[in-house]
Amino acid sequence: MKKLLGVFIVVQAILTGLILYGLNSISNSILISAVHQKTSVNTIAWSDNLDTSTYLILVAILIVGAYLIVTKDKNSR
């Protein structure tokens, strides 16, 4: 059961990361087009990536899921 829970946690962390990355890319594209409409400049000064804390949280969740996959159940034979 722990292995199944670990796989579920790892998959959810990966999907959450992909969704966050996609939403961040879309929001940055909208921001760049809005700045381009206003100032005719193709670049902006803001960051194009997610915060470091977001990556750290996703990695921590992946580690917990991997730990649950690797460890064995006490009741398993």
Instruction: Say how many domains are in the chain.
Output: 1
* % of the chain residues with pLDDT over 90: 0
Q: Is residue 37 part of a domain?
A: yes
Rg of the chain over all Cα atoms, to the nearest angstrom = 19
Q: Is residue 11 part of a domain?
A: yes
DSSP, residue by residue, 48-60: -S--HHHHHHHHH
Domain that holds residue 7: 2-70
For 17-62, how does the pLDDT look when each residue is reduced to its tens digit (9 = 90+)? Answer: 888 888 888 887 777 777 766 665 555 555 556 677 877 888 888 8
What six digits make up the tokens of 10? 């790892």
Q: Is residue 23 part of a domain?
A: yes
State the pLDDT at residue 1. Answer: 79
Q: Is residue 77 part of a domain?
A: no
Confidence of residue 77 (pLDDT cuts 50, 70, 90): low
How far apart are alpha carbons 70 and 49 in whole angstroms? Answer: 32
Q: Which residues in 1-75 belong to E strands, given as ranges?
A: none
Q: Is residue 75 part of a domain?
A: no
Q: Is residue 59 part of a domain?
A: yes
Q: Is residue 76 part of a domain?
A: no
Helices (H) and strands (E) in the chain, counts: 2, 0
